Amino acid sequence: MPTIEVEREDLELLLGMKLPESIEEIDEILSFIKGEAKHIDEKEIHIDVKDSNRADIWGVEGIARALKGILGIERGLKRYSVVGGSGVTVYVDPRLRDIRPYIACAVVRDVNLSDAAIRHIMRFQDKMDQTYGRGRRRTSIGLYDFDLVKPPLRYTVSKPDEISFVPLGFEQEMTLAEILEKHPKGIEYGHIVRQFDVWPIFIDSRGKVLSFPPIINSNDLGRVTIETRNILVEVTGTSYKTVLYTLTNITLALADRGGKIYSAIINYPYEDLGEVITPNLETEKICVNINYVRKIIGMPLGIDEIIDLLERSRYGVSEIVGDDIVVEIPCYRPDVMHPIDVVEDIAIAYDLNKIKPRWPQISTIGGLLPESRLRSLIRELMIGLGYQEVLTFTLTNKTVLFEKMNIPPERVIEVANPKVLSMTCLRSWLLPSLMELLSHNTHVEYPQRIFEVGYCVLPDEKQPNRARDVEKLACVTIHSEASFSEIKSALDALLSNLGLKYRLEETVHGSFIEGRVGKIIVGGLEEVGLIGEINPQVLENWGLENPAAAFEIDLSKIWKLIKIK
Amino acid sequence: MNLRENEAKVLIALRDLGGKATIESLTKTTRLADAAVMRAALSLEAKNLIRVSERSVTKFSLNEEGRRYAEDKLPERQLVEMLIKMGGEASVDDVFRAASMDSGLATIALGWLIRKGWARMESRERRIRVLGNPEIGSDERLLSMLKVAGSLILENLDDSLKEAFKTLKGRKLLIVREESTKEFELTDEGWALLNRGIEIVEEVTQLTPELIVTGKWREKKILKYDIEAPAPRVWPGKKHPYLRFLDEVREKLVALGFKEMNGPIVEISFFNCDGLYMPQDHPAREIHDMYLIKDPEYGDLSPYMAFLERVKETHENGWKTGSKGWGYKFSLLMAARLILRSHTTSVSVRTLISDDLEIPGKYFAIARCYRPELMDRTHLSEFNQVEGIVVGEDLTLRDLLGILERFAIDIAGADKVKFRPDYFPFTEPSVELSAYKEGYGWMEFGGSGIFRPEVTLPLGIDVPVLAWGLGVDRLFMMRAGINDIRYLFTHDLDWLRGKEMI
């Protein structure tokens, strides 16, 4: 979700009207373009744009374009056109095919950018590079003073030490390799090209470097100031569609500030791609059925009303054929993939808060999963036995699960990108979570008796997701006289109330005292858990000074046994 | 004067304790329960034999940092020991490194070292030198006393330890509580009575089975109780307050006709993302971050091949959904990537492809979701969502808003609701629900929408599916008046025990 900072005065200039003062009123207006006013001061408005698929409104020009419709300042499709050819041809080197194959260019003439406008264009460019361009990997944008450039241009490759030029913000010439080494942008984005033997370079007919895409522009040609009148816009990248769309977006932003758009010819050497003219500002059409609109929104909208709402959403209405409206989609809206996208815009322009909520007129029978009913029974029994229910995280770490519990580590499900060292894997058993909780409560009045019913997750190669969720119950009693017989009484009460017969089988387990630990066998066969007195080593590991006894049961096995009965 | 058995015991104990004692020492001496001592004392007071007064005491124990110091010694002690080990003099940086302290702790340690006069700093060379043999201070003594005793009463300490208390409190190592305790003192009349000598007359305090069976109870006098005397405190077993709230939410959803659904915690990206028309290399995939599984990295999608093929085509060119699609080359491998479920919507996808799906139908899930976020007052890396879908012919945006309104008002107890356009790659239209409650103001509850045709059609569903996923944690916080989300998973047993159920 991109956050966009716009200057109030600049936005008002683009809109041609004053905005309200209060953040609430501005927020209200912005809600119609899925924006939220996060912060507002005398100069700036900070907007969270929720729609991560509408790059056209990640800049102030696009926001103004959309708001003009909502506010009724301008309606219908805003038509952009290419005034003519710029005379620029770009020759693409076939060696770029596997490096950074695509480029698109446009020239915008007669611009007269204020400082604020330049700042905004730069911010928009950066927002596009970061999000849509995936940190310049997929696309990156370059702007140049066209009057300093001598076409035709070549988008070609260079060895790291072959070409040198003065990068933006520096005074001395550097080779491409040096730029990756020393220039802040080289350090930041160098990883995109470093893996290749030759790197992309964009040069003019005199061999003057325009830029080293996607790293940095030249300090001579690639600098736009308030004096710049004619701008060459270039986008390079790995995705053809995204390159074209990014060019459209940045070109339109300049056009909204009074520029006139001229096209360039891109000469590709690839088998499937020859000569292409960019930018492509053609609109597409989509057929939206009136009944579909009504069926989705659930309101009896009239056709004139729908047309009005479409125009306020800045669509064009080409013609009406029976119940179908042929809608013209602006060239900057590739997010419109399906008629449903148009329907949403109609609903938004109508105002969601004007739609009357209705409880669905379908009759269904509700119900809980069988596990949920059984889980309630078990919790009820544990509470009846005087145990306090607790709730802990399923994410934990191996120290808690194994080391502190005095047992050898087992395979557990680990995450590849942990955020903190205490949360690196999913728990495979529940008792450690309870011991951890007790360790934070040594100052609290004893006896302490706690339990949790919670999920543990175990690796399981047989499952498509290679894991199995296992719901478990663990309980601990800890106080100066806690003993095996106390916890066994609890287990006894629990299982007999579930109608299950069980026996204990002696076993050895590092977390429990030898000779005071048993496997819980239910129905003669199935091992469902462990019961015992906690090993003093484990108590010491957790900083506990009272004896404790505990049991842990695999409830997924209990569910099955109860179902069988 | 006629004294009851316990009264006599208390009186004698009080004499043995020098005529003045607290309730703690009396219970220890008489071996009677708190309540029994209190009862006896109150009737002795009524007979003018003792005076009962209330005294407030300061009880304190170590907090977590304090416990750590009690365990590892105070940082300045660690530092000075290290310094001595290093020959009594060293550069500041060397000794910090040798003591392996982080810079924050090291600065504290150094400050105290100087303040206690254990060492001198040659500031020009940044060297420190030990001065004499640093003795164990009263603060360290108090620390070790606390380590053994758990908690202490300030008023019982001698002056040097009282000073030490101030120091440790100032260093924020203590948890301090004011408590009141009862104190008892013999009156002159009490002394006089004891001097005359009293005898302990046996009385029936507890009715026994024997007395009942033999009928002897008729001949005995059963002791009168002070029924207003305090009884010992017990902690009942209780549900966790948040889980009890979730039970209520479940109950209400079932009453509204929703069936419960379930899905796995470790998910295949296909269910969490791709099946929801979230493009693979696009900002729309990153509406939030996800935890990735370390090993194995990929799951098995072969059981879902039919769906997978259609989803792939839908992403690439729209398939038969009437959509253009995202228009990129879909990676089957990426769809197989294993992750931790990042939203409950993955459960809805599983329900939609299930053979048991009923149309029309309403389904819900309350499930744990995972996102790699740093935890703070409003974020957890592990949290709960309540998710619902309503599947059926003729469902519209109006019905979606109806469900949201009902949920906010009936379940969350909100006064009114507001809707805002929202964005999710899998719903269109998408709606954000905000609810208003007197005293809380407006609060965002989560997102909702109608599943896109690009989601439902490849999964074999050709009727509208309304979907909502709300932050149930926030609902509970609003209800329980909690303003820190971390409290939902609190380790604070006192809070759990003490939290009212209403």
Domains recognised in chain A with CATH numbers: 3-70 (3.30.56.10), 82-278 (3.50.40.10), 284-349 (3.30.56.10), 370-564 (3.30.930.10)
Q: Would you call A436 an interface residue with chain B, using a CB distance cutoff of 8 Å?
A: yes
Nearest-angstrom CA–CA distance, A453 and A437 = 14
**Tell me, what DSSP letter sits at residue B239?**
-
Tallying the residues shown for chain A, one arrives at: 565
Indicate the average pLDDT of chain A.
94
CA angle A123, A195, A178 (to 5 degrees): 65
Other CB atoms closer than 10 Å to residue B252's CB: what's the count?
Answer: 16
User: Do B102 and B143 lie in a common domain?
Assistant: no
Contact yes or no for A443/B146 (Cβ under 8 A): no
Which residues in chain B touch residue A416, judged by CB atoms under 8 angstroms apart?
A: 291-294, 297
- Chain A residues whose CB is inside 8 A of the B394 CB are 295, 361
Distance, CA of A150 to CA of A434 (rounded, Å): 73
Q: What 3-state DSSP class applies to A124? A: helix
Residue of B nearest to A390 (CA): B240
Distance from CA of A369 to the nearest CA of B (A): 6
Rg (CA), chain B: 35
Residues A462-514 pLDDT 10s = 999 999 999 999 999 999 999 999 999 999 999 999 999 999 999 999 999 99
The answer as to whether B332 is a domain residue is: no
* Per-residue model confidence as pLDDT tens digits over B174-200: 988 888 888 889 999 888 888 888 766
| Among the partner residues A296, A464, A543, nearest to B300 by beta-carbon distance | A464
Burial of B356 (0-12, 13-18, 19+ CB in 10 A): exposed
pLDDT at A116: 87
Q: Which two tokens stand for residue A216?
A: 């940095």
Cα angle: A252, vertex A258, A260; to 5 degrees: 65
Flag whether residue B257 sits within 8 Å of chain A, measured between CB atoms.
yes
Inter-chain residue contact B418 with A353, CB threshold 8 Å: yes
Mutate to test the interface with B, among A243, A352, A377, A476 (most CBs of B within 10 A): A352
CB < 8 Å to A468, chain B: 264
Residue B93 vs residue B369, higher pLDDT = B369
Residues B355 and B487 both lie in one domain: yes
Q: Which residue of B has its CA nearest to A372?
A: B260
Do residues B249 and B388 both lie within one domain? yes
Do B91 and B163 belong together in one domain? no
Residues found in chain B: 502
Q: Provide the number of structural domains found in chain B.
A: 4
Q: In B220-340, at which residue ranges do the beta strands (DSSP E only) sit?
A: 259-260, 266-268, 338-340
Query: Residue B304: closest CA among chain A residues belongs to which residue?
Result: A464
Specify the pTM. Answer: 0.78
CA distance A420 to A442: 25
Q: Using CA coordinates, name the residue in chain A closest to B382.
A: A393
Residue A244: alpha-carbon gap to chain centroid: 23
C-alpha closest to that of A132 among A246, A244, A233: A246
Interval A541-564 mean pLDDT: 91
Cis peptide before A213 (omega within 30 of 0): no
**Interchain pair B259, A465: CB under 8 A:** no
Distance (Å, rounded) from C-alpha B46 to C-alpha B255?
59
Chain B contact for A42, CB < 8 A?
no
For an interface test with B, give the residue of A48, A344, A452 to mutate (most B CBs within 10 A): A344
Whether A162 contacts chain B with CB within 8 A: no
CA angle, A536 then A540 then A542, to 5°: 120
Inter-chain CB proximity A440 and B492 less than 8 Å: yes
Same domain membership, residue B434 and residue B359: yes
Whether B429 has its CB under 8 Å from any CB of chain A: the answer is: yes
Contact B258 A295 (CB under 8 A): no
Closest CA to A281 of A327, A332, A336: A332
- Are the beta carbons of A387 and B405 separated by less than 8 Å? no
| A40 interfacial to chain B (CB closer than 8 Å) | no
pLDDT of residue B197: 81
pLDDT recorded at residue A44? 92
> Which of B291, B405, B423 lies at the smallest CB-CB distance from A51?
B423
Give a yes or no: residue B258 inside a domain. Answer: yes
User: Which of B262, B375, B497 is closest, CB to CB, to A388?
Assistant: B497
User: Do residues A519 and A456 touch, judged by C-beta distance below 8 A?
Assistant: no
Residue B335 is assigned to a structural domain of this protein? no
Q: What angle do CA B376, B377, B381 make, to 5 degrees?
A: 45
CB A255, CB A108: distance < 8 Å? yes
pLDDT of amino acid B93 = 81
User: What 3-state DSSP class applies to A48?
Assistant: strand
Rounded to 10 deg, the angle between the A484-497 and A370-384 helix axes is 140
- Helical (H) or strand (E) element with A512: strand A512-522
Residues 393-412 of chain A whose Cβ lies under 8 A from any Cβ of chain B: 393-395
**Is there a single domain that holds both residue B417 and residue B474?**
yes
- Residue A486 has φ and ψ, to the nearest 5°, of -65, -45
Assign A72 to helix, strand or coil: coil
Alpha-carbon distance of B191 to B185, in angstroms, equals 10
Strands A164-165 and A216-217: unpaired
DSSP for residue A130 = I
B250 located within any domain: yes
Reported confidence tier of residue B284, pLDDT bands at 50, 70, 90: low
Chain CA centroid to CA A164, Å: 38
How much is the pLDDT for B27?
Answer: 85
Residues B376 and B491 in one domain: yes
In this structure, is residue B333 part of a structural domain? Answer: no
User: How buried is residue A551: exposed, middle or buried, by Cβ count under 10 Å (0-12/13-18/19+)?
Assistant: buried
Q: Residue A33: closest CA among chain B residues belongs to which residue?
A: B421
pLDDT score of A564: 57
**What type of residue is B387?**
E
Cα B290 to Cα A112, A417, A419, B210: the distances in Å are: 44, 9, 11, 69
Domain that holds residue B115: 65-130
Q: Does A241 touch chain B (CB under 8 A)?
A: yes
pLDDT at B32: 86
d(CA B112, CA B126): 16
pLDDT for B201 beyond 70 = no
Phi, psi of A230 (to 5 degrees): -125, 125
> How many secondary structure helices (H) and strands (E) does chain A include?
16, 27
Is the pLDDT confidence value at A415 over 80? Answer: yes
- Residue with more model confidence, B260 or B282: B260
Tracing tokens 């744009």 back to the chain, one arrives at A49
Residue B210, CA distances (Å) to A399, B202, B225 in order? 56, 16, 21
Option in B254, B402, B420 nearest A31 (CB): B420
Chain B positions in Cβ-Cβ contact with residue A1 (cut-off 8 Å):
287
Report d(CA B8, CA B3) in Å as an integer: 6
Per CB-CB distance under 8 Å, the chain A contacts of B301 are 464
User: Are residue B159 and residue B191 in the same domain, yes or no?
Assistant: no
Please name the member of A138, A359, A468 whose beta carbon is closest to the beta carbon of B406. Answer: A359
Of the ranges A430-444, A486-500, B147-161, which one carries the lowest mean pLDDT score? Answer: B147-161
The answer to the question of residue B308 being in a domain is no
Q: Which residue among A295, A343, A469 places its CB closest to the CB of B265?
A: A469
A341 touches chain B (CB under 8 A): yes
What is the spatial distance between Cα A232 and Cα A230, in angstroms, rounded to a whole number?
7
* Alpha helices by DSSP H, B407-487: 453-456, 472-480
Q: What is the mean pLDDT of residues A276-289?
A: 96
Determine contact: B212 vs chain A, CB below 8 A. no
Alpha carbon distance A265, A269 (integer Å): 13
pLDDT in tens, B381-417: 999 999 999 999 999 999 999 999 998 888 878 899 9
What stretches of A197-313 show up as alpha helix (H) in DSSP?
240-256, 290-297, 303-312
At B76-89, the pLDDT tens digits run 888 888 888 888 88
pLDDT of residue B202: 62
Structure-token pair, residue A314:
């800045």
Cis peptide upstream of residue A370 (ω within 30 degrees of 0): no
Separation between Cα atoms, residue B271 and residue B285, nearest integer Å: 13
**Cross-chain residue pair A365–B395, CB shorter than 8 Å:** no
Q: Average pLDDT for residues B218-222, to the nearest whole number?
A: 79
Confirm whether B379 is domain-assigned: yes
CATH number at residue B9: 1.10.10.10
CB contact under 8 A, B291 and A417: yes
Q: Report chain A's C-alpha Rg in angstroms.
A: 33
- Contact flag B489-A418 (C-beta cutoff 8 Å): no
How close does chain A come to B439, measured CA to CA in Å? 19
Cα–Cα distance, B392 to B466 (Å, whole number): 9
Is residue B411 exposed (0-12), middle (13-18) or buried (19+ Cβ within 10 Å)? buried
ω into A214 cis (within 30 of 0): yes
Residue B429: is the preceding peptide bond cis (ω within 30°)?
A: yes
Residue B287 pLDDT more than 70?
no
Distance CA B100, CA B111 (A): 17
Strands, E, within B301-415: which ranges? 338-340, 361-370, 382-391
Could you tell me which residues come within 8 angstroms of residue B332 by beta carbon, excluding any fewer than 6 positions away? B301, B308, B312
By Cβ distance, the residue of A382, A391, A423 closest to B381 is A423
Q: Is the pLDDT of residue A359 over 60?
A: yes
Q: Which helix (H) or strand (E) holds A490?
A: helix A484-497
Residue type, A61: E
Coil/strand/helix, residue A453: strand
Whether B282 maps to a domain, the answer reads no
**Please, what is the average pLDDT of chain B?**
88
- Which whole-number Å values give the CA distances from B267 to A325, A414, B260, B264, in the listed order? 42, 13, 19, 6
pLDDT at A508: 96
Of B70, B77, B58, the C-alpha closest to B165 is B58
Between A60-70 and A115-127, two packed helices, what is the crossing angle to 10 degrees?
A: 100
Q: Cβ atoms within 10 A of the Cβ of B374, count?
A: 9
A294, A340, A445: which to substitute to probe chain B, counting the most B Cβ within 10 Å? A340
In a shared domain, residues B126 and B142: no
B16 and B154 share one domain = no
Co-location of B44 and B191 in the same domain: yes
Average confidence (pLDDT) over A265-287: 94
Nearest to B390 among A360, A440, A441 (CB): A360
- Mean per-residue pLDDT for B324-346? 94
Regarding whether B489 and B418 lie in a shared domain, the answer is yes
